[in-house]
A and B are shown apart, each in its own frame.
Chain A
Amino acid sequence: MGVQPLAGAIGAPDRGPRLFRAGDRRSTVISTVSTVAFVGVLAAIFFLAPGSGVVRHDFFSGTHMWRAFIGNNREGLPGIGTAILLNIKMFLAAEVLILLLALVIALVRQSSGPVMFPLRVVGTIYVDLFRGVPLLLVVYMIGNGVPALNIHFLSTQLPPVYGTAALVLSYSAYDSEVYRAGLNSVHRSQTMAARSLGLSGWTSMRYVVLPQAVRNIVPPLLNDFISLQKDTALVGVIGAIEANQAATIYADNQFNYSSYVVAAILFLILTIPLARFTDHVIRRDRDRRLAGALV
């Protein structure tokens, strides 16, 4: 036993949280019927509700949706289709910075030795602070406070920069805890084996512990990034013309909320692929563990 890799385990039928699972024809029929019935009930509630007509006009007007999407320069209406690009930019920039900063905070907090004591205290305070304060308030305080400080270039940036900074501060505090959980998930015997070979503490961390830790935390990190994509909408409150802010401007000018639906759809288009990708990674990870456990 144990000598032969179990080829069957690798190609074993997947029972994961998939949307569509291979089954026999009967279950396909049943799931089709129940889906149609379910959608039908929802549609009936929507179309038969007393205010259905108003809602359809105020929230789902095709004309308004199109106009909100492309915007109108002469009327001072920013297009949501363009504004969402700012969300994407802020998300991408914040994501890279969060991954780096959170790792640094986690390593500092995991460090040992009296020399690192002050840094450990700073790390703890940082995490307590930025995990405890609502992100919206951080956005307000950074976006309005830092310009007011009047420090040279620090105070002359545009709102998206302050907003991204706020996202980084808040999410790096959260994700440093994810990293820390990942580092703790690697058994102490791995460090001991690395040190016994004469590798230094840092080299052991870099080549032995960290790669295993990161593997374990890819799913929770991806999950946080789905959340981060949406939270870029909060940066609108300090005047960045991102999708949510563009939708608000349109709604306030045209007295029609279809712009919000446009923004919502665009956010869904961003987040759903990442959500599916996260599912995929979790499933692959579990299969890998199962295969490993069987050998």
Chain B
Amino acid sequence: MSETRDVSTAAPPAIPAVRVEALHKSFGPNEVLRGIDLGVDSHEVVCLIGASGSGKSTLLRCIDLLEPIDSGRVVLWGNDVFSDPKLDQNLVRRQIGIVFQSFNLFPHMNVLANVTLAPMKALGAGRADAEDEARTLLGRFGLLEKERDYPDRLSGGQQQRVAIVRALAMRPRVMLLDEVTSALDPELVAEVLDVIRELAGSGMTMVIATHEMGFARDIANRVCFLEDGLIVEDAPPSELFRAPADERTQRFLRRIIDAGRL
């Protein structure tokens, strides 16, 4: 471990967990992120809101090093993760949990195997230890009796909770949630949101892209409104939802209210 640099121990706690500076990212001719600046402190919950295609998902994927960036910096616990060629990207990803809209569970593995794969194969944990820890987490989120089930036998809400548990099993220092309730039937949304509330309550640092405005208002320390690859407004939810400063934020929220979503 002394050779490879561990981002979790390298930085003193005062440094922000996640800092994004002037981040640009294009897919072909389509510029999705056009200079994003964002800071997230430890134990902070930041919600990203904005229309589909505004760049929320891409931003989260860049933070998790799942997409190469064009320019700018992503600094995690004081480490510039894209410009340092010696940094082991796998090591960085192990400390960041990401949960996707479409769950992306491994369909050929049962719940327990989904959760224990990465601790065993990436961290080198023994099977017994990994399964013990997985059962503790599954129990915490009411999934203990599902450990032998395959993903296609679970409801969407259960699958998404397993995906969250799978990410938590790596003991991440920050969780990125990418519209985790958008693919769920309405009656299954609450069970997933409850899980996220519990995580926030336990002090987990989180960046949450979401369309659930009420949820964002309840849970977030800060809300960022994105439009066309830029953070237009970044404010505490009490301000942003009650008295948005930017005209574009006002327009977006008015549409949401008209649609009865807030």
Contacts and interface: CB of A to CB of B under 8 A. Distances in A.
The answer to whether A and B come from one shared complex is: yes
Interface of A: 1-3, 5, 189-190, 192-200, 203, 207-208, 211-212, 215, 291-292, 295
A201 to B, nearest CB: 9
A1 B154 CA distance: 11
Contact of B170 (A192, A197, A208, A212): A197
The 3 closest A-B pairs by CB, nearest first: A198-B94, A197-B118, A193-B104
A196 B152 contact: no
B155 interface: yes
B143 to A, nearest CB: 13
Nearest to B150: A292
B156 interface: yes
Contacts of B93: 195-198
A212 B94 contact: no
Contact of B152 (A208, A211, A292): A292
Most B Cβ at <10 Å: residue of A192, A198, A203: A198
A2 B155 CA distance: 5
A288 to B, nearest CB: 9
B117 A207 contact: yes
B106 interface: yes
8 contacts: A5-B153, A192-B66, A194-B106, A195-B66, A195-B93, A197-B166, A200-B90, A208-B106
Contacts of B86: none
A195 B98 CA distance: 10
A195 to B, nearest CB: 6
Given A193-B106, A196-B64, A211-B108, 4 more contacts: A189-B100, A190-B106, A194-B106, A197-B170
B192 interface: no
Contacts of B61: 192
Contacts of A199: 90, 117-118, 121-122
A189 B102 contact: yes
B82 to A, nearest CB: 15
Given A5-B153, A193-B104, A198 B90 contact: yes
B91 interface: yes
Interface in B76-115: 90-91, 93-98, 100, 102, 104-108
Which of B90, B105, B170: most chain A CB closer than 10 A?
B90
B108 A3 contact: no
Contact of B153 (A196, A200, A295): A295
Contacts of A3: 155, 158
B185 interface: yes
Contacts of B102: 189
A191 B148 CA distance: 23
B13 to A, nearest CB: 22
Contacts of A1: 185
B168 to A, nearest CB: 11
A193 B118 CA distance: 11
Interface string B123-148: 10000000000000000000000000
B42 to A, nearest CB: 20
B108 A215 contact: yes
B167 interface: yes
